[in-house]
Structure 1
Amino acid sequence: MAPKTLSATETWVFDLDNTLYPASCRLFDQIEAKMRAYIMDHLALDGEAAGALKSELFHRHGTTMKGLMQDHGVDPHHFLDFVHDIDLSPLDAAPALDAVLAGLPGRKVIFTNGSTMHAERVLARLGIAGHFDGIFDIVAAGFTPKPEVGPYLAMATALGVEPTRACMVEDMARNLLPAAEMGMATVWIPNGTDWGAQGQGDHIHHVTDDLAAFLAAIG
């Protein structure tokens, strides 16, 4: 079962995009635009058809990339390098989050459906990279995305996470279900989208729209 109080947490497992920075930065809009461009180029589709296929693959496979791999033979490394080559200027440094993470007891790790390269760039831009001692990305997960259970088990093994003494923070409600079933406490940060809100339930233990303030209040 999950820790009785978050102050007992030994490992904090953070998602990256729209979790460690606010969704209002619209950074993921760039990634989605790059996905459409990739599909247009590699499958010779116009913008409308590429956008429709991107959405269809996402809903059917969990990520657009997994769908492109399975249905169209796309090289995932090439895809990741292309879609994560984005402008990070909308991201400001996060001194409040930096200070809170510095004082938050326990290890901090990243668990993302993105790539390690993308995570490292984002963490550096936010000025919080020094607080994390591990990144488990989509490549380490064998390109199997959250919320499939396998990556959670692999992440816990690879990063030495004891689930019953861990807390996962994530912007997609459905991605917290496997974490809760493993015994983690969970924190949901709504990203303002319908797909982010899908899968709400009792497995969500805490909800916040201000991560720094939420973590600062833990005592």
Structure 2
Amino acid sequence: MTPKLTHIDHWIFDLDNVLYPAECDLFALIDVKMGEYVSKLLDVDQQEARIVQKRYFHDHGTTLAGLMHHHGTDPHDFLDAVHDIDMSRLQPSTTLRAAISALPGEKLVFTNGDRAYAERVLENRGLGGIFDHVHDVLACDLVPKPEKAAYHSLIGTTGINPERSLFVEDMARNLRPAKELGMTTVWVNTGSEWGARDHGSEFIDHEITDLESWVTDPKIDKETGPL
């Protein structure tokens, strides 16, 4: 699909598996923490906890959303618990920092995690202080991507023009609402089953495998977005 080119004023990035390589696999650490949380909350073994965890993720967008819906889970307690992980897998990238900093216009992070976790990731990745805004799940009133309300929250809070925005995301299904709002969409295909779930070429303008290689590519027009 060839998108209509327009001037990009707002560069929006998902956090996990986008602003750091998927090979770091921070989610594996978070996944363990979520399993432990669900197991303790529901008083079930690890195997049953994992089944519940993945079902909630699929049905509600995030495990947290499912836990809140079905069990009234305190979101702050959950987020504090599952994001209490070792960040040593992350390495700073001066190349990525310079490339993102050089993009014209606003730079934003749009994540289903919370701000505290996002800021820890950014600092450990060497990307602290270069984003104009971090819009987290708490700012979205705990409504996660791909729910449309999350995108309207981002737009309402920041005042961005979606038709002059580009959104980079590793979960294909999270790009559909962005495209419907007029954003240019970039899917980071990490090769994961979850990332490709509900993929649709009609709402994905560009497919890449690595953010750093893409954003430093000299063929990319930094005024109009990728060609």
Smaller-chain TM-score bracket: over 0.9
Deviation readout 1:83-139 (Å, 9 max, x if unpaired)? 011100001111110111121111101110000001000000111122101111111
Match of 1:4 in 2: 5
Contact 1:92 1:126 in 2 (8 A): yes
Cα RMSD between the aligned structures?
Answer: 1.2
Larger helix percent: 1
CA shift for structure 1 position 67: 0.8
Counterparts of 1:140-219 in structure 2, within 5 Å, are 140-201=139-200, 202-217=202-217, 218-219=220-221
Letter in 1 for 2:205: H
Is the Cα contact below 8 Å between 1:3 and 1:9 reproduced in 2?
A: no
For the residue of structure 2 that corresponds to 1:129, the secondary structure is: coil
Q: Residue 63 in 1 paired to residue 56 in 2?
A: no
Identity percentage of aligned residues: 46
Letter paired with 1:212: E
Tell me which amino acid in the other structure corresponds to 1:53.
V
Give the paired residue count: 216
- How far off is 1:62 after superposition? 1.4
Question: Which structure 1 residue ranges, 4+ long, deviate > 6 Å from structure 2?
Answer: none
Shift of 1:188: 0.5
Distance (Å, rounded) in 1 between the aligned partners of 2:183 and 2:139: 21
2:225 aligned partner: none
Report the AA paired with residue 187 of structure 1.
Answer: V
CA–CA distance in structure 2, aligned partners of residues 35 and 213 of structure 1: 31
* TM-score scaled by length of structure 1: 0.95
Quote the offset at 1:3 in angstroms: 5.4
The answer as to whether partners of 2:167 and 2:183 remain within 8 angstroms in 1 is yes
Deviations 1:155-178 (A, max 9, x none): 011012110100000000010010
